[in-house]
Amino acid sequence: MLHIHDWLMHRSFLMLLLVVNVIGTIYGYIWYRPQLSETPTIFLPFVPDSPTASLFFVFVLIAWLRHTHWPLMEALAVVTLVKYGIWAVVMNMLVFIVTGELGWAGWMLVVSHGAMAVQALLYASYYRMSFIHVVVAAIWTLHNDVIDYVFGMMPQYQMLAQYTPQIGYFTFWLSIASIAVAYIFSRRR
């Protein structure tokens, strides 16, 4: 009988997870295409939050399939998958509360982004990141918050525009919580 450890790290399951994350990453970058076409070049790496988070996890999966670890990618993946996974679920639920409706794409985002956060946590015991890797991921993530909410590059949810200051405040504290999660995992190895 396979234990969860055997199942999560089974090569076939990692390959399936890799394919799913590659497809999700590509879809995410396509979803951001309209916003990216209006984004100043200097901000391009920081605008497509969720697909970049899943791209970090793609690199983690590739490393594991090669029987190695890329600790910086692990730190970036866990911080950003937890943050943007939860963030997108909350924003889409807020859209539902404000407008009274959420189309199929919104529900798909709730499920897929919820899965992003879950996969980050499911693999927590496998990460080999150190404190310095978490620091670099924290700098990336907090810098991204500044780009989003100081320079106005956050994901476009027009129906939530009136709540931008509150969303920015929530996002900052979600970043801190996600960094704390990564720090805790880095200490448990």
CA atoms within 13 A on the CB side of 138: 16
Handedness of CA 76, 51, 152, 170 (dihedral sign): negative
- Give the pLDDT confidence score for residue 189 in this predicted structure: 59
- Give the pLDDT confidence score for residue 5 in this predicted structure: 74
Give me the torsion for CA of 52, 53, 55, 61, rounded to 10°: 170
- Give the pLDDT confidence score for residue 99 in this predicted structure: 93
| Model confidence pLDDT, tens digit, residues 73-117 | 999 999 999 999 999 999 999 999 999 999 999 999 999 999 999
Positions in the chain short of pLDDT 70:
1-2, 189
Between the alpha carbon of residue 92 and those of residues 19, 85, 95, 173, the distances in Å are 25, 11, 5, 18
- Give the pLDDT confidence score for residue 2 in this predicted structure: 57
What's this model's pTM, rounded to 2 decimal places?
A: 0.94
- Give the pLDDT confidence score for residue 43 in this predicted structure: 95
**DSSP per residue, the chain:** ---HHHHHT-HHHHHHHHHHHHHHHHHHHHHTHHHHHTS-GGGGGGS-HHHHHHHHHHHHHHHHHTT---HHHHHHHHHHHHHHHHHHHHHHHHHHHHHS---HHHHHHHHHHHHHHHHHHHTGGG----HHHHHHHHHHHHHHHHHHHTSS-S---GGGGGGHHHHHHHHHHHHHHHHHHHHHHHH--
- Give the pLDDT confidence score for residue 143 in this predicted structure: 97
- Give the pLDDT confidence score for residue 4 in this predicted structure: 75
